[in-house]
């Protein structure tokens, strides 16, 4: 019986020491809670930006009916990139021919002659892709870029990106 008691007390001591070894200091507990709070804040800010973007898009869509998109697409310049010298292309909405929103322009690259050759588009779901300028029609008045590529192709060529907002 004494041997069983010693074994039982030894097991209890091991359990007590392992519990103490796993306990966190107040500073560690605070840091863990702070990290969790920061993660929740980032998640909230991301959700809020998405909500505000959807609300802006809803208001924009109400102001531009289907017939407007057809007219805007065919009036947009197909070879706009040849003599485009401004930098106000950043932040431009990018849509499909029917007005379905794809994303925004976040960057562009010029060739040796100053002509725009590629445009980087921030798509939904934090993805971005480069598109050749000749696959885009641009309406300078309304600042809308129309992409002549299928949505699926854009997403296939895209890469994940992180919170960029022009």
CB 103 within 8 A of CB 154: no
Question: At 100, which CATH number?
Answer: 2.30.30.240
pLDDT at 18 over 80: no
pTM of the prediction? 0.58
- Please give the Cα distance from 144 to 89 (Å, whole number): 9
- Please give the Cα distance from 60 to 110 (Å, whole number): 30
Q: Does some domain include residue 19?
A: yes
3-state helix, strand, coil in the chain (%, to 5): 50, 25, 30
Q: Does some domain include residue 166?
A: no
Within this chain, do residues 78 and 57 fall inside the same structural domain, yes or no? no
Q: Does some domain include residue 165?
A: no
Within this chain, do residues 57 and 76 fall inside the same structural domain, yes or no? no
Cα dihedral: 93, 97, 101, 104 (round 10):
-30
Pick 151 or 164 by higher pLDDT: 151
SS3 79: coil
Pick 39 or 3 by higher pLDDT: 39
Q: Does some domain include residue 55?
A: yes
Within this chain, do residues 99 and 53 fall inside the same structural domain, yes or no? no
Q: What is the pLDDT of residues 60-98, one digit of tens each?
A: 676 667 777 778 888 888 778 777 777 778 888 898 877
Q: What is the pLDDT of residues 30-42, one digit of tens each?
A: 999 999 999 999 9
What's the domain count of the chain? 2
Name the domain boundary from 61, 81, 102: 61
Name the domain boundary from 45, 61, 77: 61
Within this chain, do residues 48 and 79 fall inside the same structural domain, yes or no? no
- Which of the four pLDDT bands, split at 50, 70 and 90, describes residue 8? low
| Residues forming a β-bridge with 108 | 119
Name the domain boundary from 22, 37, 61: 61
Within this chain, do residues 18 and 74 fall inside the same structural domain, yes or no? no
The strands making up 144-147's β-sheet, listed across from edge to edge, are 136-139, 144-147, 93-95, 101-110, 116-123, 127-132, 159-160
Within this chain, do residues 23 and 71 fall inside the same structural domain, yes or no? no
- DSSP character string of 83-127: S---STTTT-EEE-TT--EEEEEEEEEE-TTS-EEEEEEEETTTE
């Amino acid at each position: 019986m004494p041997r069983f008691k010693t074994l039982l007390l030894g097991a209890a001591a091991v359990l007590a020491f392992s519990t103490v070894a796993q306990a966190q200091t107040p500073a560690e507990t605070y840091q863990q809670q702070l990290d969790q709070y920061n993660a929740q804040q980032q998640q909230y800010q991301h959700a809020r930006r998405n909500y505000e973007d959807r609300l802006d898009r809803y208001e924009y869509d109400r102001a531009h009916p289907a017939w407007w998109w057809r007219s805007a697409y065919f009036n947009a310049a197909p070879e706009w990139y040849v003599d485009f010298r401004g930098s106000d292309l950043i932040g431009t909405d990018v849509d499909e021919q029917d007005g379905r929103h794809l994303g925004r322009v976040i960057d562009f690259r010029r060739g040796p002659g100053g002509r725009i050759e590629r445009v980087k588009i921030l798509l939904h779901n934090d993805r971005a892709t480069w598109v050749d300028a000749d696959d885009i029609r641009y309406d300078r008045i309304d600042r809308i870029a129309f992409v002549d590529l299928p949505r699926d192709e854009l997403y296939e060529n895209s890469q994940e990106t992180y919170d960029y907002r022009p």
